[in-house]
Structure 1
């Protein structure tokens, strides 16, 4: 090999070695930068998530406190409202009864017998025209006056009689559904609020 060719080979080798060294150094520097950027991005993301979680927790805590305070205020107000209502009914009971007697529709229920009790006997409708609950209500009234009948039995029997007063589903589906809904309302009202009436009826019948 001539000296000229040898020098050319040496130059190529030196260039290759230098190029490889530069590429390796450049790749190492680029990779370190990438890792650093990823690390910084992760730290920023973690900080943002932490801050967001803290704000969310604070917001939820504040909301719960406001709800609890609202419930406490409501609990304090309800007894006052109930007392005001009771006082108003006690003081205005006679006037309310007089007003009802003057303003009630005489075509609804003038007998005061059957469905309803007290002032409501002239408000609660016995005969709706489409169906008539008079008999069911009268039987229920008499049941309350029987010493050997429990209130639960009377109320359950009342619901059965109310439903029997409804037209058949096959005859008129609309009237049937309306009747069933009103029957359920009558029964529910009696079952939830009829304790005092039952006691009065039992006392009137001298039940022990």
Structure 2
């Protein structure tokens, strides 16, 4: 029998390994923190590592280090768990593509549009799945909790709209404010907003949760 793709491996699969939640958080947020630090301390980094000066200004240095940190985080996730979660994997691919375009064309636009593209992609996929009667969010989070069909539909709709909201907010911030403001908002604004939204969905999750079958 053929093996499932690594990003869809059954949680009960003995080959799958769980990692410490704190380490998982570091792997997910680490690249963003590297991006923020490199952008804010770009000149300091260039002074100590002159080769980085060939990349251009702080945002280009931050983009290159962001790509490197993302690659390290994905590699570490694979080594530790033998899986690649769908959402970080898709986001990583977009980081590499748009980061490469940013550095090659020496244009800030591509890396600034990356969150717009990623969030729009997730939103369209989730809402498009609903249009065809598929609650795709269930395939991503089914191992975390069990919901009835109505619960998955409502949660998928809400997350789909939330991703579209994040895409719109990113467009507004990067087009209307400075690069430093956009970087700060990307690191310190999006995460709290996402956490608050996630917490706000707990009543829905509790209402539609299914009891674990007795053994």
* Range into which the TM-score falls when normalised by the shorter chain: under 0.3
Question: TM-score scaled to structure 1, two decimals?
Answer: 0.24
Higher relative contact order (CA 8 A, sep 6+): 2
Structure of larger gyration radius:
1
Question: TM-score scaled to structure 2, two decimals?
Answer: 0.23
